[in-house]
Copies of this chain bind each other. A is one copy, B any other.
Amino acid sequence: MSTRTARDQPQTGPRQVRRRPGGRSARVRAAVLDATTEVLAEHGYERLSFEEVAQRAGVHKTTVYRRWASRPELVLDALHARSDLIIELPDSGRIEADLTVFLQSVADNLDSPLGRALLIATIRSSDEGAEAASVRHSFWRERFDRARVRLDRARRGGEIARDADVPLLVESLVSPIFFRALVSGEPVDDDVVQSHVRLVLSTARTTVRGGRAR
């Protein structure tokens, strides 16, 4: 899967950090990233300050500033390091059941204080630079990789149409959950998750050709 390669590459990190596993630099990095996640979960993105992060990590403020150029960079780096924000996707052989677990997992993530902080932290600002855009883009791509892999398998195994447009289906599946969390504010319950899984699968089982998705 070409979508998988992002996983195998080294994590995107601040340029100045020299990677010396186990060394002081690595320990400082881990302490700062843990502190960032804590502060995020407690106060949310809006009130996250480099000062407080530095204090909790037990390092000087300038150490943080020197390594992370901006709040989005620091936050994305910290969230990349959190294994508990990984989105589940089993392979039971039944595509509807698997996608339901996946989408419920997306919804649970966005509903948690940390997941919500992550979401707000990664909202595209209109003046963001190319580097920030690329970090955000690859972050979200990784989140949904497993759904793409699962749907590709379903496509090859005949569970959905062979010419199904998998990236389009994944976008159609996850978008309503983000729409509710960020825009409409309507709750995401089991029925909502189920309805969107069925809507997308109903299309996937017939055909979804309709121009490129990306």
A16 within 8 A of B: no
Q: Is the CB of A185 within 8 A of B124?
A: yes
Q: List A185-214 residues whose CB lies under 8 Å from chain B.
A: 185-186, 190-192, 194-200, 202-203, 206-214
Which among A50-58, A78-86, A174-182 touches the partner chain? A174-182
Tally of this chain's copies: 2
Set B122, B195, B211: member contacting A195, Cβ < 8 A: B211
Identify whether the interface residues of A are mostly helix, strand, loop, or mixed.
helix
A149 within 8 A of B: no
User: What is the chain B residue whose CB lies nearest that of A124?
Assistant: B185
Q: Which residues of B contact A184 (CB under 8 A)?
A: 136-137, 140, 171
Set B136, B199, B210: member contacting A168, Cβ < 8 A: B199
Size category, A interface = 35 or more
Q: Is the CB of A214 within 8 A of B192?
A: yes
Q: Is the CB of B181 within 8 A of A124?
A: yes
Q: How far is the CA of A119 from the CA of B182 in the complex (A)?
A: 9
Q: Is the CB of B179 within 8 A of A178?
A: yes
Q: Which residues of B contact A210 (CB under 8 A)?
A: 194-195, 197-199, 202
11 additional A-B residue pairs with CB within 8 Å, beyond A113-B126, A165-B195, A198-B210: A124-B182, A124-B185, A136-B184, A169-B199, A172-B175, A191-B213, A194-B211, A199-B203, A199-B210, A202-B202, A202-B210
Q: Report 11 cross-chain contacts, Cβ distance below 8 Å, ordered by A residue.
A: A113-B126, A119-B183, A123-B123, A124-B182, A175-B175, A175-B178, A178-B178, A197-B210, A199-B210, A202-B208, A206-B206
A residues lining the B interface (CB < 8 Å): 44, 113, 116, 119-120, 122-124, 126, 133, 136-137, 140, 165, 168-169, 171-172, 174-176, 178-179, 181-186, 190-192, 194-200, 202-203, 206-214
